Structure formats: structure tokens, C-alpha cells
Amino acid sequence: MRKDFAHDLAMAVPVVVPDARGLTPADLDGYAADLSRVPDVSSVSAPSGTFVGGNKVGPPAGATGFADGSAFLTVYSIAPLFSQASDTQLTRLHQVGGPAGRSVEMAGVVQVNRDSVAAVTDRLPLVLGLMAVITLVLLFLLTGSVVLPVKALVCNVLSLSAAFGALVWIFQDGHLGALGTTPSGTLVANMPVLLFCIAFGLSMDYEVFLVARIREYWLASGAARPATPTRPKRMPPTTRAWRSGWPARGG
């Protein structure tokens, strides 16, 4: 399929010239020719024709034209999606100067993935900082201890790091293929964020449940040592309430 049908729309990069008023066909042809010289570009469909390797080889192949003063082109790529090659290609496409110095905008799967990663990483320090501060403050208010909140946060970070390492080792690097896993070579940007939120929330919940029970026993008895081995034997009220609602959740 890939050999006989080289134009995979999922791998295409739509290019828009928002302000194409006053541009001549020669301006767009020169721009399309420059785009077609970028490595791993199979062809570029421009309003006046299709370009391959800097040369015009035929009529437009579709997904191109003019509308409302804007010009549309389509860059067809052979670089695999979510690969280093596709990311490098997108960078080189952006480096090609627009027709007659006009600004251009690009879309497509690779561009959306890049924008998503940028949106996540730009706010990641703020989000992680807020999560750490809120966790430390709440656990401090619960226990009155400085060490326990730090211990809980460090242990959760270590366990999540191991989980992400296993995720990369199995699904991204392709290990354990004998079990039927399919290596992708990359991870979709939103999946680590989703897994982090779920895993961190659940692990911190149970940390609070156990610490709350230990504190209850310690306040009742005043004995520190017996409190720790006793904690799994009796669940705190929060855990009992959660478990009582489990059947209603479909479990």
C-alpha cells in the first residue's frame, strides 16, 4: 500500500499562506519548489501544479487552491509519523522562507503533536510545583510532621519514575516483543500526563489513608511503635467510605 500509494494524507503537512493577496503564480511556484527539496518530501501540491525535487512535474494533485485571500498547499511526506525524521522535516519546512516574505502556517499530525508537547512542557514546572506544594501542605496539616510529607512525595516520584521507565522500555524501545507488544518508537504526548495524574492521585490517596490510620492509633494510644504494624488491620473512615461506594462504581 505504501509503495503503490505514496500520498498518505495522515503524513501530509498542510501549508497555509494567510495573506496571499498580491502574490503571483511564480511566487507560489518558487515556494512550492523550495518545499519539495526538503528531505523526505515526496511531492508538493501547489495551486499551479505538483512539484517534486524542485521541478514542476504535473497539474495540482489536490488539497490546494485559493480561498478568502489565502493560499493552500499540501506537502506530502514519506517520513514516519512521530519519528525523529518527521520532526526534523517539519523544522526544515518551517525554515523555508514564505512566498515573497509572507508568513505561513502549517498543520498536520506532526505539527499538532509538536504544539501539544510544547503546551505541556511550557506549563510542566508550574504544575509540578503546585502539586508538590499542595501535597506537602496537606500532609503537614494532616500529620503535623515535616518528614512524612517529604517521604511520601519522594517515594511517589521514585515509583512513578520506575513506571515511566518500564513504559518506555517496553512500548517505545520494543522490548518484550514476544508477549505481543508493538513498539511505536515514541509515546504520544498526552499519555504520560494522563498516566501521571492517575497514578500519582491513587498512590497519594492510599498514602493518606495509611498515614491517617497510623495517626489515629497514635493519638488514641500514645504509642508510636505499635501504630505502624497495626495500620493495615483497620482501615480509616475515608477508606471504608471509598470501599462502600465501590459497587456503585461498577466494580
Residue 51, in any domain of the structure: yes
**Predicted confidence (pLDDT) per residue in 70-84, tens digit:** 999 999 999 888 888
In this predicted structure, the answer to whether residue 3 has a pLDDT above a threshold of 80 is no
Residues 65 and 166 in one domain: no
Ramachandran assignment for 178, one of left (phi > 0), alpha (psi -120 to 50 degrees), beta (any other): alpha
Q: Where does a domain end: 107, 138, 161? A: 107
- pTM for the predicted model, two decimal places: 0.70
Render pLDDT for 158-209 as a digit per residue (tens, 0 to 9): 888 888 888 888 877 778 777 776 676 777 777 888 888 888 888 888 778 7
How confident is the model at residue 231, as a pLDDT? 52
Contacts of 196-201 spanning 24+ positions with Cβ under 8 A: 196/160, 196/164, 199/159, 199/160, 199/163, 200/131, 200/156, 200/160
Structure confidence at residue 227 (pLDDT): 56
**Same domain? 118 vs 217:** yes
Q: Is residue 18 within 8 Å of 70, Cβ to Cβ?
A: yes
**Whether residue 132 is found in the same domain as residue 53:** no
- pLDDT by residue (tens digit) across 112-165? 989 988 888 888 899 889 989 998 998 888 888 888 889 888 988 888 888 888
User: Residue 239 pLDDT > 60, yes or no?
Assistant: no
Residues 99 and 127 in one domain: no
Residue 152 lies in domain: 111-177+184-221
